């Protein structure tokens, strides 16, 4: 079977579990050499081992993207070790929910650090390499995919700051898309609904139980469902740009 991403390099942030791990594996199975980036080396090694066991190429990059120097160094390590960068998937994220008046300020700050600043640091470091790949690679196209959320489209009580980060991400994605569209760097956003991941495991008591009650009986999306959307975007012919994919669970109304 032809692998559509042969001779390309992809970097996935937040790749130690969930959507990031599934996306890294999916891109590797399409032929990309994949760099898995995150803070938990053990988890990253597990993801890389699975990729390699299935015949793919994986590089582990341990870094905290909320540190601008670590984020930039991580991108440069990928290019130095794998030779180029054709695809960036900004997946790392943090979700804190609950009434604004009862939310710890530290939680708000952490959401901004990961969902906004970390993404910007990685993107800024990667852009020159992605633009170069779009110009000189055999495919003559490169991809930047941002993982947002339905919370980037629908504001709801208890998610004010998470909404802030995801609405902002959607706006950033569209503006950047328009800037680089003629250079054949495709900039896309994927907006997952409720996915069975670790994203909500850190939620405070009370908040977590309320969300569990809300989701009770619903069949949640799997990380592989979102990985499929990312793979679809980046494997299109260069004449096709898929700007946005919204993926909700089948029973999700918001």
**pLDDT tens digits for 41-70?**
999 999 999 999 999 999 999 999 999 999
Residue 253 pLDDT > 70, yes or no? yes
Q: How far apart are CA 205 and CA 6, in angstroms?
A: 46
Check if 232 is active-site: no
The CA-based angle 194-198-202, given to 5 degrees, is: 105
The tens digit of pLDDT for each residue in 93-122 reads: 999 999 999 999 999 999 999 999 999 999
Residues facing 11 on adjacent strands:
35, 88
Each residue of 10-23: pLDDT tens digit?
999 999 999 999 99
Q: Which residue is catalytic, options 18, 58, 125, 162?
A: 162
Global confidence as pTM: 0.94
Judged against a pLDDT cut of 60, whether residue 199 lies above it is answered with no
Topology of 9-242 in CATH?
Rossmann fold (3.40.50)
Which pLDDT score, from 0 to 100, does residue 202 have? 61
- Cα distances from 45 to residues 31, 34, 35, 40, in angstroms, run 19, 12, 11, 9
Eight-class DSSP state of 55: T
- How do the domains of the chain map onto residue ranges? 9-242
Residue 58 contacts residue 47 (beta carbons within 8 Å): yes
Mean pLDDT across the chain = 94
Q: Which helix (H) or strand (E) holds 223?
A: helix 223-234
Q: How far is CA 109 from the centre of its chain?
A: 20
Structure tokens at 253: 């109304």
């Amino acid at each position: 079977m032809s692998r559509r991403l042969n001779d390309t390099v992809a970097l996935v942030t937040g790749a130690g579990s969930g959507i990031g791990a599934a996306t890294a594996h999916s891109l590797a199975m399409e032929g990309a050499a994949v760099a898995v980036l995150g803070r938990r080396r053990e988890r990253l090694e597990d993801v890389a081992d699975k990729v390699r066991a299935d015949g793919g190429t994986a590089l582990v990059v341990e870094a905290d993207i909320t540190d601008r120097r670590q984020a930039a160094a991580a991108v440069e390590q990928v290019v130095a070790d794998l030779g180029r960068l054709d695809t960036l998937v900004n997946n790392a994220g943090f979700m804190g929910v609950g009434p604004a008046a009862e939310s710890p300020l530290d939680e708000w700050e952490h959401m901004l650090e990961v969902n906004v600043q970390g993404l910007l640091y990685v993107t800024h470091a990667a852009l020159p390499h992605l633009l170069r790949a779009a110009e000189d690679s055999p495919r003559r196209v490169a991809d930047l995919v941002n993982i947002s959320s339905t919370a980037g489209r629908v504001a709801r009580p208890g998610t004010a700051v998470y909404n802030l980060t995801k609405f902002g991400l959607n706006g950033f994605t569209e503006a950047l898309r328009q800037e680089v569209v003629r250079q054949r760097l495709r900039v896309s956003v994927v907006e997952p609904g409720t996915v069975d991941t670790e994203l909500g495991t850190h939620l405070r008591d009370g908040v977590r139980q309320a969300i569990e009650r809300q989701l009770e009986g619903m069949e949640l999306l799997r990380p592989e469902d979102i990985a499929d959307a990312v793979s679809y975007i980046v494997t299109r012919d260069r004449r096709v740009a898929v700007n946005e994919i919204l993926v909700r669970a089948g029973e999700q109304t918001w």
